[in-house]
Amino acid sequence: MPHHVNWTERAQALKADGRAVIDGQRVAAVDGQTFAKHSPVDGRFLTDVVRGQRADIDAAVRSARAAFEDRRWAGQAPAARKKVLQRFAEKILAAKEELALLETLDMGKPIQYSMGVDVTATARCIAWYGEAVDKIYDEIAPTGDHALAMITREPMGVIGAIVPWNYPMIMAAWKLGPALAAGNSVVLKPSEKSPLTACRLAELAVEAGLPPGVFNVVPGYGHEAGEALALHMDVDAIGFTGSTRVGRRMLDYAGQSNLKRVYNELGGKSAFLVFEDYGDIARAAQTLAGSMFFNQGESCNAPSRVLVQDSIADEFVKLLAAEAPKYAPADPLHPDTVLGALVDETQLKTVLGYIDAGHSEGAQCVAGGRRARADSGGYYVEPTVFAGVSNEMKIAREEIFGPVTSVIRFKTEEEAIAIANASSYGLQASVWSLNVNRAHRVARALRAGTVHVNQYDEDDMTVPFGGYKQSGNGRDKSLHAFDKYTELKTTWLRLD
Ligand code: NAD
């Protein structure tokens, strides 16, 4: 992380632009409405942002549809689309410092991660789908001599992408990459809590040669712009990432409108199972703290339920309680900060409310538990560990989405699996054991979209990411994501 940049000075000089991008142009809302965006870092005013309504979504969808119908993008050869997406990725990297600063100011994460994780992963994702798209072949079905049956993939049309605020650029890129590479047009509705990088991405895409109208961004509130997009009769699919509560509504909106495809990537309450036969429990505790407190705990896959075998539980809790203070909240604009601000005051109150619930249900708070840096004007919470938690407690059942984890004890492998799976979520899980049979057995029994063995954070564009149960139904990343944004067409030819 470069220390030569004075991020505080840069932040003061930054000019953020909260206007929508429709048909390749920055535009105000049709009715001129905006909302004020403040930074959770210190409460400073950042800019006025377009408060999109149905009329703005209509304009964006019209533009996207026109771009799709005249095939200005879908009609280009895959190798040509690849080049544009590669240039788009290069533009993102060239704008790294600006995008990182916007992301940090918008939603509070430490600048070293906006720089080193968010911007780079966004560019990587766009480039990866660009690189993939001219290497995918269609199929001929083995039907026999009398006929030829071709199975081809076609872009779907107009994709609505609705994304959350915790990884604003990366979540957008996970939709944009496969949707654009496949030849679709996209209307992106970023979270009202973190709209700034999305608008900038759309400008960079146009500069990279993406034809106007192929990628539009309309900021606004969920119940206004988001609802209008999800209910739109001319949107073919919604790629949604967000809460399970709103994911349910996406399915309703599809039912009420045109039965558009809905791909939901939702919440989690991921279990981290540590068995006594894993030798190095200090390493397990370190990995847990690193994964849990990364991004202020505002990660869908945060390991927020820690299941530890009885015989090592006391020692593990001690080690974890000693790890937590290493993630003390600090100024997100300082290059060494590892834990920044929660996204806003509402989230701060939610997280503190869960900490209160932990106390009142009888769990023991062994680290953190309080608001921090209140005099900064921002929203910070100490990394917090509860021990003595039972899986029935609210803090073990509900997604907190803050730097709070819960340690639950178990006696046997069967009990550990039963507790881990006793959740409405199923996004991710982890098993720590040096017994190879147990590691495989437990990994197989865990009902989660991703299971890690003896680590937690391994990640790559090549693997799908998504959940079982109420964690969702879609898979972002990897070649599998193309399935969401393409239609399969069968074409029969008679050969006799
Ligand atoms: P949220 O559900 O409140 O909002 C997500 C998006 O939906 C925002 O853009 C919001 O404006 C919009 N929205 C809200 N109400 C809407 C409505 N009625 N109609 C249409 N759109 C609406 O979620 P959030 O608080 O922004 O994000 C946190 C959630 O996202 C957590 O539950 C987290 O687990 C989840 N998440 C999941 C993944 C994953 O890949 N599974 C990744 C990141 C975050």
Q: Which of these, 132, 186, 128, 192, lies nearest to 160 by C-alpha position?
A: 186
For 264-319, write each residue's pLDDT tens digit.
999 999 999 999 999 999 999 999 999 999 999 999 999 999 999 999 999 999 99
| Residues in contact with ligand 1 (CB, 6 Å cut-off) | 162-166, 171, 189, 191-192, 221-223, 226-227, 230, 241-243, 246, 249, 265-268, 300, 399, 401, 427, 467, 471-472
Pick the residue whose CA is nearest to atom 30 on ligand 1: 242
Q: In the prediction, which pLDDT does 457 show?
A: 87
Pick the residue whose CA is nearest to atom 37 on ligand 1: 266
Integer Cα distance of 341 and 25 in angstroms: 32
Q: How many helices (H) and strands (E) does the chain have?
A: 16, 23
Integer Cα distance of 370 and 359 in angstroms: 12
Q: Among all chains, which residue has been given the structure tokens 């834990």?
A: 339
- The minimum-distance atom of ligand 1 relative to the CA of 472 is 41
Q: In the prediction, which pLDDT does 251 show?
A: 98
Gap from CA of 298 to ligand 1 centroid (Å): 12
Q: Give the largest Cα separation in the chain, rounded.
A: 81
Q: In the prediction, which pLDDT does 162 show?
A: 99
Residue type, 9: E
Q: CA quadruple 165, 170, 171, 177: dihedral positive or negative? A: positive
Q: Among all chains, which residue has been given the structure tokens 């803090």?
A: 395
Q: In the prediction, which pLDDT does 451 show?
A: 98
Q: In the prediction, which pLDDT does 314 show?
A: 98
Integer Cα distance of 23 and 132 in angstroms: 26
SS3 421: helix
Among 37, 117, 166, 304, say which to mutate for ligand 1: greatest number of ligand atoms within 8 Å of CB. Answer: 166
Are 57 and 225 within 8 A, CB to CB?
A: yes
For 411-430, write each residue's pLDDT tens digit.
999 999 999 999 999 999 99
Q: In the prediction, which pLDDT does 4 show?
A: 77
- The minimum-distance atom of ligand 1 relative to the CA of 471 is 41
Q: In the prediction, which pLDDT does 1 show?
A: 67
Q: Which residues are catalytic?
A: 265, 300
Which residues lie closer than 8 Å to 415 by C-beta, 6 or more apart? none
Q: Which of these, 111, 154, 83, 150, lies nearest to 491 by C-alpha position?
A: 150
Which residues lie closer than 8 Å to 150 by C-beta, 6 or more apart? 138, 139, 140, 141, 490, 491, 493
Q: Among all chains, which residue has been given the structure tokens 């003390």?
A: 328
- pTM exceeds cut of 0.75: yes
Ranges of the chain whose pLDDT falls below 70: 1-2
Q: In the prediction, which pLDDT does 2 show?
A: 63
